[in-house]
Chains A and B, each alone.
Chain A
């Protein structure tokens, strides 16, 4: 086969067409091409109140950017809903009362004054003061986006927060989630034509910006939790700085929970800053006198100790990840049951909280603590075991005790070996302060730090490094190029990344043929940026029709984009492994996952998927979301006119084609077995790795392709598939140009393969 790159870059008629396809058919741009009849939010394009078709609402006589807090107060009091005139419910008025007690409420007028006067505003307030839920509503009443066919966006770094907060605000505004208030996260859009307030992940807003550089559908953009400094928030800030100049009508609010708000102020050319006093109570801080040998065990014992000895009040324990959290929840529940039986302790309810938790389970953390088991018995207590999400993104009332082991899972990227991984690392002092603050929401609280005071002072860094300094930037560079930002050197980021990290990203994109040698976006690159996927995955998906297996690669891409589908409970590891073996494909994990998916879609499973998944130790949730992701990606493929094809299952090349298609995206993630036969070495980066214990690989393969590099004190590669060296040379000739390899085992093995291929071709020719 010829060089795949040239094939993709010499556009077939079809590809050329899609590149220049009508922007009106682009889902991200649709709003720009709407005629006045089918407006974005159903309120009429201009002055809907004068349109005659619309009833008078509580907002009809409001003057845009000249309203007052008192006016808003009146409109909120009803009787009709200010946004749709529906009579307001009792629940609405109950919530309204508590909302008016929130610290931000007292400063509503002050907020409006500043909001009306300036284009960019920095707003600081402690967690729980009402930033996320109230400020966007303050904006709605003054900005009146629905009269101008616009929306207000409020970004959240986390999916969980976006969903949960949107639900809360829908309740507060007495509307149905998905109508006036909605949310949008990757692979899930819960908004409608009436939506005026959209909570969304920062990543989603960035994606929208790729198609609409000026974010024209929004009249106000609120960047919430800016102190978290996620990659997407940082890029958005750089972008909004530029958009603000091009769009004087756009209002921007930056909200942060921490002290370094001044840094934001300075960054936005001395934008005005409004601070709202917290409503927190003092928190007593305790340290352990000695370092703890096992922080998880110490954490569990501390939780139980609090339950046994401290007065009423809920507990928040910070741990690092799903597995650790689920395990801790189980153990605490078991222990607590025994305490209740043996020592008449109060009832204890334990709730996990992490990013991949389904929404209805996330909502549970807001349930009140259980009542005493019997009249006059000891009070019940609620324990929330969560990740960093509970640090600032979600406010949980009633927490009085915080247990802080001092760790969180943080992303790191090493551009020298091109490995991005999540590592458990000590948190920063700023994080520790935030965590402690969670204990003082309702009344004076206590924070138990499972480390010494000396360690706090000496070993914790001041601030967590922003994500942009810890990430692989391949995807970001692709997004920036699509945003039309070419000068990556001088792009005004708050914390620019290391040059080496950026160079790596540019080189990876070049090898993937998303950027040409001048660093310009190629047709493939433009197409890849349409997919909300890492570039390698996107390129694999786009190339898959050439390998006659786009249906299968589409399924695989979806499966690789969701959490682990295999469930392996500590109590039934053996049984789980046996079940996994039912699906095992000798050529590796990718094909095994594909087998699972096909079985999941078969009759046997679809009649009762829950039971089927349970029996086979599979995660129904993960498989269902893979299904959802698949259909979303399919839509983008169809729009891009990428064919959905399969090789006949009985063809001997069915699986070979899929493995070759994998190479088209992941040729930079290949390892070769060492001559010793025990470890593998990654190609070009020369890292010694082991196959992850979860690997299914029936054949003894010299070359493997992997999806993930797991960095621990031992290095593992996870989700591997056996590949052939001749495929590497054939499908990715630029990357596998032998002159770019260091002399060594890998180079000579590839050289041998190349010679063999040449000989074969020669004999073919002479025949």
Chain B
């Protein structure tokens, strides 16, 4: 019986499992983040999800007044800072930092390349050259791949949606821009099972002896695969025309 080698549990436990399902025990370890962490308990009201809401809703919830006060204090503190330091309109970062040695060398470096010195670089505030500022600038993005002749697009455009705008649908264009993708699963493997990569699995395959016939067959298979690959790459009509085919 193939099940015999599964016997690894104490005798007294063996009898309780039938023969159909393997008698190997499923081992479990407790959660590291505390037994009840993810589920609320009525005995510890302060931790309960519901109580969090009650605190939001009920004025009596006074225990966390302190923390609310704290938050307010922090907001005010931030405001105070804002007054004294002017911030950049584009990236909202403070503009206070004086031109650093580093940015000077950068400017020198640009000048060294022989570009005209009237290039805005020389007059630019070093802040504007900073990475943080640059990523906040508006870029022109490559246009969307959507086929402009689609009827569906015409409809959405007529209500003001622009495929190149990088906005989704919705009252404020907040919708997702691309459909959600999911990988199909048709096995019973549990979550987190990682199969050894293809290459390793192949290594364990037994080497087979080849004769002339087999080699010929393999050759044939290889050729077909190349053909198929070529097909996939070049089946595009435009490419084919461009290459002079069809």
Contacts and interface: CB of A to CB of B under 8 A. Distances in A.
Contacts of A292: 26, 189-190, 193
B180 interface: yes
Nearest to B159: A489
Interface stretch (B118-126, B170-178, B198-206): B170-178
A273 B52 CA distance: 12
Interface stretch (B41-49, B86-94, B213-221): B41-49
Interface in A288-320: 288-298, 300-302, 304-305, 308-309
B191 A426 contact: yes
Interface in A417-476: 421, 423-426, 432-433, 436-437, 439-440, 447-448, 450-455, 459-460, 465, 469-470
B115 interface: no
Contact of B175 (A486, A497, A503, A505): A497
A75 B43 CA distance: 33
B31 A423 contact: no
B164 to A, nearest CB: 11
Given A276-B50, A490-B159, A498 B177 contact: yes
Interface string A490-524: 11110111111111111100100000010100000
A339 B18 contact: yes
Interface stretch (A77-85, A173-181, A330-338, A581-589): A330-338
B77 interface: no
B194 interface: yes
Interface in A255-301: 259, 261, 272-298, 300-301
B16 A301 contact: no
Contacts of B13: 308
A410 interface: yes
Contacts, number: 290
A487 B152 contact: no
B135 to A, nearest CB: 25
B230 interface: no
Nearest to B185: A424
A305 B24 CA distance: 10
B26 to A, nearest CB: 5
Contacts of B26: 288, 292, 298, 301-302, 305, 448, 450
B17 A281 contact: no
B181 interface: yes
Given A280-B40, A291-B194, A510-B151, A490 B30 contact: no
B38 A285 contact: yes
B18 A291 contact: no
A277 B28 contact: no
A335 B17 contact: yes
Nearest to A429: B38
A437 B153 CA distance: 45
A225 interface: no
Interface in B126-185: 146, 150-156, 158-161, 163, 168-171, 174-182, 184-185
A743 interface: yes
Contact of B53 (A275, A453, A470, A711): A275
Residue of A413, A489, A744 most packed against chain B (CB within 10 A):
A489
A334 B175 contact: no
A478 interface: no
B246 A489 contact: no
Nearest to A433: B38
Given A488-B159, A490-B170, A300 B21 contact: yes
Contact of A507 (B22, B41, B48, B151): B151
A506 B155 contact: yes
B39 interface: yes
A90 interface: no
B28 A288 contact: yes
Contacts of A447: 39
How many interface residues does chain A have, given as a range? Answer: 35 or more
Given A338-B18, A459-B192, A469-B180, A502 B156 contact: yes
B179 A413 contact: yes
B179 A284 contact: no
A295 B175 contact: no
A130 interface: no
Nearest to B147: A503
User: Which secondary structure dominates chain B's binding surface?
Assistant: loop
B57 A275 contact: yes
A712 interface: yes
Nearest to A339: B16
Contacts of B25: 301, 305
Contacts of B15: 342-343
A425 B18 contact: no
A335 B35 contact: no
Contact of A712 (B20, B32, B181, B184): B184
B191 A498 contact: no
A519 B161 CA distance: 15
Contacts of A505: 152
Nearest to B25: A305
A406 B190 contact: yes
Contact of A490 (B28, B36, B160, B177): B160
Contact of A286 (B28, B41, B52): B28
Contacts of A283: 35-36, 38-39
Contact of A126 (B22, B40, B146, B194): B40
Contacts of B35: 282-285
A261 B152 contact: no
B55 to A, nearest CB: 9
Given A277-B51, A500-B146, A405 B190 contact: yes
B159 A335 contact: no
Nearest to B42: A279
A407 interface: yes
B39 A436 contact: yes
Contacts of A285: 30-31, 35, 37-39
Given A278-B42, A278-B49, A301-B24, A497 B188 contact: no
B171 A490 contact: yes
B237 interface: yes
A161 interface: no
Interface in B217-246: 235, 237, 246
Interface in A108-155: 124-126
A240 B45 CA distance: 35
Contacts of B57: 272-275
- Residue from B26, B35, B37, B57 with most neighbouring chain A CB atoms (10 Å): B26
B106 interface: no
B56 interface: yes
A179 to B, nearest CB: 35
B29 interface: yes
Nearest to B36: A282
Contacts of B41: 280-282, 440
A450 B189 CA distance: 11
A297 to B, nearest CB: 7
A496 B51 CA distance: 31
Contacts of B16: 304, 308-309, 339, 342-343, 345
B45 to A, nearest CB: 7
A412 interface: yes
Interface of B: 13, 15-22, 24-32, 35-43, 45, 48-54, 56-57, 146, 150-156, 158-161, 163, 168-171, 174-182, 184-186, 188-194, 235, 237, 246
Given A288-B27, A297-B22, A491-B171, 9 more contacts: A275-B50, A275-B57, A280-B40, A283-B39, A304-B16, A308-B17, A424-B186, A489-B159, A498-B169
20 contacts: A273-B56, A279-B42, A284-B31, A285-B31, A288-B28, A289-B28, A291-B191, A301-B22, A309-B16, A335-B21, A437-B39, A453-B32, A455-B192, A489-B161, A491-B171, A495-B176, A496-B174, A497-B175, A497-B176, A499-B169
Interface of A: 124-126, 259, 261, 272-298, 300-302, 304-305, 308-309, 331, 334-339, 342-343, 345, 405-407, 410, 412-416, 421, 423-426, 432-433, 436-437, 439-440, 447-448, 450-455, 459-460, 465, 469-470, 486-493, 495-507, 510, 517, 519, 711-714, 742-744
